[in-house]
Structures are given as structure tokens and as C-alpha cells.
């Protein structure tokens, strides 16, 4: 969804500038100096969305020269392209490349056309997830089409829902499930190719960890399952838990938890409780993108969730 189609709400802040003299930079990843290449064609739009663990800014910028020391004193910063091309520090950066910033890094770039991209500042450094294993600076991560398409689809749906929501408390209830989906999408791109390769002789260790995970999942009962919460309960990093799941079961931790949550929804729907709705059951189990949930449910169980509820009644 282009930025200009988003509307402001009590959740989502929209800023639009048509005069460079009134333009002000956003501080999500620091403030730089922008010089428009074509001042008469100047236009900038941005959508600003704070979540529990970070700040997300979707921006359509203008053709410009840009100089800055970008980054954040805490956590990690990311720049995710939608429609993008620039020459940054002498390197060509296009729509297949994600920028990852730890600490602060100098950038000099030239953007010959308007670019659309997402700027992200996570409050955590995300080392426990295995992202970008370097101390400080700016790194570029090249990604394949499918993982990038999934990531873009997640945050565009996130901004679309925020644009349509005028109840901050209702949207706050979606923060954790949205962030869990985003983390999984970033994991698929930012983890190195050998991240889930087990060292020789560690299979039994991983198998015991997954057995403990099953016990902890039972203790969580009806609570939605999130990777960071489970890793904390087990006293390991999310990356260690991800590796163990891949080694033992051959699937990602996100896939495993999604199926667990899907089964929890199915059990609720099969009771056919009075007043229960598919939406309520899905939201209660951490599903926030209801269209994606409905498609996944039908793939898993061969019927729509509404059919399960009807049979339960």
C-alpha cells in the first residue's frame, strides 16, 4: 500500500510535506541533511507507528542528496526497501537489500528518484535472535524475493490495520502478535545461512530442550505462545530454541508455534460456545491478520474456521 493511501488515526500518525522549507526530518534513526535534487518536485509523506518494542516509520521521500550519521544509541536499526534505489557510501543499494545499523554510522547517499522504505528502531539489540553479528556500524543484507515479499506484506498489513483503527487499547492488544510475526519475517532474512546447523554431538541436547519446550507450552495453558516468552521460560536464547526446533523437527519455531496456536483456536471453535466468534478465538490466540489466519486454517484442517464453529454448534 502506498503511503499516500494511508489515513491518520488515533493509532497512526501521518505527516505530509509539499514545501521543502517546512520539511523536518524524523528522528527514528537520527537526523541528517537532505538537499533536494529537484526542488520544484519536492514531496514527502510518512506514516509513524509506535509498537511495544520499537518504532516504525514508513516513508516516501524525494530525490535528494543525503548526509547523516544514522543509527541508534540503544537497540538496532533497520531500513527495509519497498521501491528503492540509491548510491550509499559509493555502493549501489536497491530493493533487495536491507540495511542493519548498530550504534551510529556515517552515510552519504544520492537518491535520483523518490524512494519508499520502512525505517525501524527496535528497543532490543536482537542479539538473542542471532541478527547481524557485529558490534557497530552499517551492514547490508541481500535477500531473496520470497522472504522479502513476506516481510513487506506483514508491515503493510500492520500499517493498514493501524490506519483503520481508532481505539488505541484495541490496537495495543495486537502489539505482541504483530511483533511476533514481524520477528519471524526478519529472522528468515537476517539469520545467517548456517544459523540452524547443529554442531556434531548436540542432537540429544536439542532433543531434551524440545521436550522441555513441550512441557512449558502445556504450562502456558490458554496464553498465546510467543518465542521470546518461551525462550525466557527455558533459560535459553530465542536463537538456541530456533536451532533446536529446526534440528529436531525440521521446521521453524514460528511454524511450530503457529500450528500450536491454530490447534488452540480449533479446539475452541469445536466447543461451539454461545457467543463465540471466529474473530474472537483467533485474536485470543495471537492471530492478528485474520485473512492470513483463515487461509492458514483451511490449509491445515481442510475447512474454513467458520465451518468448524458451525459444526461445533
Q: Are 11 and 166 in contact (CB under 8 A)?
A: yes
In a domain, 291, yes or no: yes
The pLDDT of 13-27, averaged and rounded, is 93
Inside any domain, residue 163: no
Kindly give, in sequence order, each residue whose CB lies less than 8 Å from that of residue 232, ignoring residues fewer than 6 positions away.
none
| 133 in the same domain as 275 | no
The shares of helix, strand and coil residues in the chain, as percent rounded to the nearest 5, are 45, 25, 30
CA–CA separation, 59 and 81 (whole Å): 10
Q: What is the dihedral of CA 305, 308, 309, 311, to 10 degrees?
A: 160
Residues found in the chain: 313
The whole-number average pLDDT for the span 163-173 is 93
Over the stretch 253-286, which tens digit does the pLDDT of each residue have? 999 999 999 999 999 999 878 889 999 999 999 8
Instruction: Give the mean model confidence (pLDDT) for residues 82-96.
Output: 95
pLDDT at 133: 83
Region 135-142 average pLDDT: 92
pLDDT of residue 187: 93
286 and 152 belong to one structural domain: no
User: CATH number, domain at 93?
Assistant: 2.60.120.10
Compute the average pLDDT of residues 130-154: 92
Q: Answer yes or no: is 105 within a domain.
A: yes
Predicted confidence at residue 1, as pLDDT, reads: 59
Evaluated on CA atoms 199, 203, 204, 205, the torsion sign reads: positive
Give the C-alpha separation, 163 to 49, whole Å.
10
Q: What percent of the chain has pLDDT over 70?
A: 98
* Whether pLDDT at 223 is above 90: no
pLDDT tens digits, residue range 104-132? 999 999 999 999 999 999 999 999 898 98
Number of domains in the chain: 2
Q: What is the pLDDT of residue 73?
A: 87
Question: Could you report the per-residue pLDDT of 174-203, keeping only the tens digit for each?
Answer: 999 999 999 999 999 998 877 667 677 788
Residue 101 lies in a domain: yes
Q: Is residue 188 part of a domain?
A: no
Contact 150, 119 (CB under 8 A): no
306: domain CATH number is: 1.10.10.60
| Mean pLDDT of the region 243-255 | 92
Q: Residue 178: inside a domain, yes or no?
A: no
Q: What percent of the chain has pLDDT over 90?
A: 81
The number of angstroms, rounded, from the C-alpha of 219 to the middle of its chain's C-alpha atoms is 27
Tell me the pLDDT tens digit for each residue of 201-212: 788 999 999 999
> Which range of residues forms the domain containing residue 266?
258-312
Residue 146 in any domain: the answer is: yes
Residues 119 and 265 reside in one and the same domain: no
DSSP string for residues in 97-145:
EEEEEEEEEEEEEEESS--EEEEEEESS--GGGT----SSEEEEEE--H
pTM given for the model? 0.90
Amino acid at each position: 500500500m502506498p503511503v499516500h493511501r494511508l489515513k491518520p488515526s488515533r493509532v497512526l500518525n501521518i505527516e505530509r510535506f509539499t514545501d521543502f522549507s517546512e520539511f523536518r526530518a524524523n528522528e527514528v534513526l537520527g537526523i541528517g541533511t537532505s538537499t533536494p535534487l529537484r526542488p520544484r518536485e519536492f514531496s514527502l509523506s510518512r506514516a509513524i507507528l509506535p509498537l511495544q518494542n520499537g518504532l516504525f516509520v514508513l516513508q516516501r521521500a524525494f530525490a535528494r542528496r543525503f548526509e547523516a550519521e544514522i543509527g541508534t544509541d540503544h537497540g538496532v536499526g533497520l531500513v527495509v526497501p519497498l521501491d528503492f534505489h540509491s548510491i550509499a557510501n559509493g555502493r549501489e543499494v536497491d530493493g533487495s537489500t536491507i540495511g542493519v545499523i548498530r550504534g551510529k554510522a556515517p552515510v552519504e547517499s544520492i537518491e535520483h528518484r523518490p524512494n519508499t522504505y520502512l525505517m525501524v528502531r527496535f528497543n532490543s539489540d536482537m542479539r538473542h535472535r542471532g541478527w547481524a553479528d557485529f558490534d557497530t556500524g552499517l551492514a547490508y543484507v541481500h535477500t531473496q524475493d520470497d522472504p522479502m515479499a513476506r516481510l513487506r506484506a506483514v508491515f503493510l498489513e500492520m500499517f493498514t490495520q493501524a490506519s483503520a483503527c481508532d481505539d488505541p487499547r484495541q490496537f495495543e492488544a495486537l502489539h505482541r502478535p504483530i511483533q511476533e510475526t514481524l520477528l519471524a519475517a526478519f529472522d528468515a532474512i537476517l539469520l545467517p545461512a548456517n544459523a540452524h546447523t547443529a554442531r556434531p554431538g548436540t542432537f540429544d541436547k536439542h532433543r531434551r530442550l524440545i521436550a522441555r519446550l513441550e512441557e512449558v507450552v502445556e504450562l502456558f495453558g490458554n496464553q498465546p505462545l510467543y518465542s521470546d516468552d518461551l525462550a525466557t521460560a527455558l533459560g535459553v536464547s530465542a536463537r538456541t530454541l530456533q536451532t533446536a526446533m529446526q534440528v529436531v523437527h525440521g521446521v521453524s519455531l514460528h511454524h511450530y508455534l503457529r500450528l500450536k496456536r491454530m490447534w488452540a483456536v480449533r479446539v475452541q471453535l469445536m466447543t461451539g460456545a454461545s457467543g463465540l466468534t471466529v474473530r474472537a478465538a483467533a485474536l485470543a490466540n495471537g492471530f492478528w491478520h485474520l485473512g492470513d489466519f483463515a487461509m492458514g486454517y483451511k490449509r491445515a484442517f481442510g475447512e474454513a474456521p467458520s465451518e468448524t464453529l458451525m459444526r461445533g454448534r
